[in-house]
């Protein structure tokens, strides 16, 4: 039935007619994007410490994609990638523009394409936003590190309430800043994004829409009301598992710039725990804003005709392998949370390998619209119908080389020819690089071959 509607829509488009509302249960799409959120931080992805009740609730009524992977390992390339459904670069019609071309109201609230955080947030500017995507667009400014409250720069072991000399835009230690402020959070960018999104849902509830809400937490600076920090006493935070000489078998290009040895936080084990506490506080604050949006969607009666997609642009390191931040091809960075809750589709969990480039064709198909030829992702509608379905064998990620993540193995090949290989069944934390192990040479050769084929298919040399 659903495919019949898609074919009808495509035929109408070919003869110059576009249905104002597609004959499909999905009339609207609400895309919610978090920033720097690792999948393993969410309750619905197995975390038993971090409180994410609203995303957990969404997960219960939607499909949880356990093995979803980003293509870019930092904000700009990742966001461009999923908005154009291209592995690299931008070509064709972007996602928002495609909905606009089919008479949908489209809006951006907050950060969807790349914005400098905190720079563009403080300035209230558009960053690298693509205007053709939106009927309307709205920024959500905030004071960020300059928010009054208990400020910490944890790799410098600085704690103060003074507003002077705080690490901010373009400064070298800004990634280790947290602020616990005494307010209710309504002045924070994500709270403003939630409020504006709610306003738009009310205003446009009677017309088909594509609304993208971009939340910036838990991206640094990790700012949240004091009450959210109080939920996570730093002394109770557990640091990641570690092994001696962990980086010894990782190629040079596989090690990011920010490590415990280079950024200074290695001197302060307690401050590493404070980083986890601040990250979790930011995640829970972000989750509360998601809850506000979803509660309004339900109150307006829009759940029954709106596909909700929640993703992050990439994951994050908080000391795993003594790595910090992003910009590398290891699991904590490349694996992202993905939840899709759509009318007429199943709820559950799937281990199917998926990529962020797949979001575009998925929501377009759900909405009964044609999928542009420029799109490189594949629709996940078959997985929504059957969680055991497979739409691709592996996922690609890019950073000084390419990673191919399959169900059993993670393989990385860097620009200098160096490699990493991990058996994800036996070593999910990626402690033992098997690339030089004689027993795995046949497997590695097969992965090399499949990687080359995928790159060729994607038009990447």
Q: What is the DSSP string of 156-199?
A: TTEEE---TT---TT-TTGGGEEEEESS-STTSHHHHHHHHHHH
Please report, for residues 240, 258, 375, 431, the alpha-carbon distance to residue 320 in angstroms, rounded to integers and kept in the order given.
6, 12, 34, 10
**What is the distance between the alpha carbons of residues 404 and 396, in angstroms, rounded to a whole number?**
5
pLDDT of residue 461: 81
pLDDT of residue 271: 98
Ordered domains of the chain (ranges, CATH): 2-388 (3.40.720.10)
**What is the distance between the alpha carbons of residues 163 and 166, in angstroms, rounded to a whole number?**
7
User: Tokens 């069944």 label which residue?
Assistant: 425
Q: Which two tokens stand for residue 78?
A: 């990742």
How long, in residues, is the chain?
461
pLDDT of residue 274: 98
Q: Which two tokens stand for residue 282?
A: 């930011």
Burial class (CB in 10 A: 0-12, 13-18, 19+), 428: exposed
**What is the distance between the alpha carbons of residues 358 and 381, in angstroms, rounded to a whole number?**
10
pLDDT of residue 24: 79
Cβ-contact 67, 352 below 8 angstroms: yes
User: Tokens 């690339």 label which residue?
Assistant: 435
The string of pLDDT tens digits covering residues 425-435 is: 999 999 999 99
Residues of the chain with pLDDT under 70: 1-23
pTM of the model: 0.95
Selection from 418, 415, 399 nearest residue 81 by Cα: 399
Residues in Cβ contact with 180 at an 8 Å cutoff, skipping those fewer than 6 apart: 149, 150, 224, 225, 226, 228, 229, 281
Cβ-contact 32, 340 below 8 angstroms: no
Return the number of other C-beta atoms located less than 10 Å from residue 286's C-beta: 31
**What is the distance between the alpha carbons of residues 179 and 323, in angstroms, rounded to a whole number?**
22
The string of pLDDT tens digits covering residues 341-365 is: 999 999 999 999 999 999 999 999 9
**What is the distance between the alpha carbons of residues 436 and 366, in angstroms, rounded to a whole number?**
45
User: Tokens 């300035």 label which residue?
Assistant: 123
pLDDT of residue 200: 99
């Amino acid at each position: 039935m659903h495919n019949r509607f898609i074919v009808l829509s495509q035929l109408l488009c070919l003869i110059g007619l576009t249905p104002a509302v597609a004959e499909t249960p999905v009339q609207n799409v609400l895309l919610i994007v978090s920033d720097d959120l690792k999948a393993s931080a969410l309750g619905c992805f197995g975390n038993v410490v971090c409180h994410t009740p609203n995303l957990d609730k969404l997960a219960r009524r939607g499909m949880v994609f356990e093995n979803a992977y980003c293509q870019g390992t930092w904000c700009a390339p990742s966001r461009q990638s999923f908005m154009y459904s291209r592995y690299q670069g931008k070509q064709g019609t972007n996602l928002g523009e495609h909905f606009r071309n089919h008479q949908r109201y489209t809006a951006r609230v907050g950060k969807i394409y790349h914005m400098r955080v905190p720079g563009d947030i403080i300035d209230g500017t558009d960053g690298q936003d693509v205007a053709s995507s939106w009927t309307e667009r709205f920024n959500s400014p905030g004071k960020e590190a300059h928010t009054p409250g208990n400020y910490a720069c944890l790799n410098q072991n600085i704690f103060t309430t003074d507003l002077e000399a705080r690490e901010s835009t373009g400064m070298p230690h800004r990634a280790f800043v947290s602020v616990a402020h005494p307010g209710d959070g309504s002045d924070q960018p994500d709270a403003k994004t939630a409020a504006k999104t709610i306003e738009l849902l009310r205003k446009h509830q009677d017309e088909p829409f594509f609304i993208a809400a971009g939340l910036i937490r838990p991206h640094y600076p990790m700012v949240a009301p004091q009450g959210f920090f109080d939920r996570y006493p730093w002394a109770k935070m557990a640091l990641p598992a570690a092994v001696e000489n962990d980086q010894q078998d990782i190629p040079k290009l596989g090690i990011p710039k920010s490590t415990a040895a280079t950024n200074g936080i290695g001197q302060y084990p307690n401050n590493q725990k404070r980083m986890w506490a601040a990250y979790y506080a930011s995640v829970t604050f972000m989750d509360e804003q998601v809850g506000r949006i979803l509660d309004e969607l339900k109150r307006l009666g829009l759940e029954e005709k709106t596909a909700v997609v929640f993703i992050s642009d990439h994951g994050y390191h908080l000391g795993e392998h003594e790595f910090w931040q992003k910009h590398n091809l290891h699991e904590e960075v490349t694996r992202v949370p993905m939840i899709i809750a759509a009318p007429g589709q199943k709820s559950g969990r799937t281990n199917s390998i998926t990529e962020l480039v797949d979001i575009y064709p998925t929501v377009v198909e759900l909405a009964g619209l044609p999928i542009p030829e420029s799109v490189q992702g594949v629709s996940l509608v078959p997985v929504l119908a059957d969680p055991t379905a497979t739409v691709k064998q592996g996922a690609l990620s890019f950073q000084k080389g390419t990673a191919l993540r399959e169900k059993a193995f993670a393989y990385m090949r860097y620009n200098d020819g160096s490699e990493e290989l991990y058996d994800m069944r036996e070593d999910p934390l990626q402690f033992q690089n098997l690339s030089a192990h004689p027993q795995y040479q046949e497997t590695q050769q097969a992965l090399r071959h499949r990687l080359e084929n995928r790159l060729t298919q994607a038009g990447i040399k």
